[in-house]
Amino acid sequence: MYSPEEISDIQDEEREWLDLLEDLMEEFSEEYRRRGVELTEFLCSCWAPRMVEVLAELDMIRLTEEERRGAECLGVKWDPSTIDEEEEEEEEEEEKKLRYWIRRLDEVAPVPDLPSVAAAEL
């Protein structure tokens, strides 16, 4: 377990992520109550499209040149490859599945004491 001081440090470091999570939780809770539909319908019609938007916004975040150089000094190697059209189509189809989103959430914000979906699939 983490000490209260360690928890505070982690929260300070991850404040932006925590704020985004809180905003999304509030948004989804309100929208779920407003729609009054089954959970699976809500996940497909509201949650998944909104998460596509959020992840696209996060993907658009660019490092400053200073951050980029700092990462390279730590040994980061940038991958210039791009996704080809077939892989892109497969990913679009995969985005429609709940397991995909759970896996993406595990990538962005893993829960330390819970196994990831990727590990469960092995």
- Which pLDDT score, from 0 to 100, does residue 75 have? 84
* Residue-wise DSSP of 31-90: HHHHH---HHHHIIIIIHHHHHHHHHHHHH----HHHHHHHHHTT---------HHHHHH
Q: What average pLDDT does the chain have? A: 79
C-alpha–C-alpha distance, residues 107 and 122, integer Å? 16
Measured CA to CA in angstroms, residue 88 lies from 75, 91, 95 at distances of: 29, 5, 11
Residue pLDDT, tens place only, 58-115:
877 777 778 878 888 888 877 766 445 556 666 666 767 777 777 777 777 777 766 6
Residue pLDDT, tens place only, 94-108:
767 777 777 777 777
- Residue ranges of the domains in the chain? 1-61
**What whole-number percentage of the chain has pLDDT above 90?**
22
| pLDDT for residue 120 is more than 70 | no
C-alpha–C-alpha distance, residues 12 and 7, integer Å? 9
**What whole-number percentage of the chain has pLDDT above 70?**
77
- Which pLDDT score, from 0 to 100, does residue 68 have? 79
Give the dihedral of Cα atoms 45, 120, 56, 68; nearest 10 deg: 170
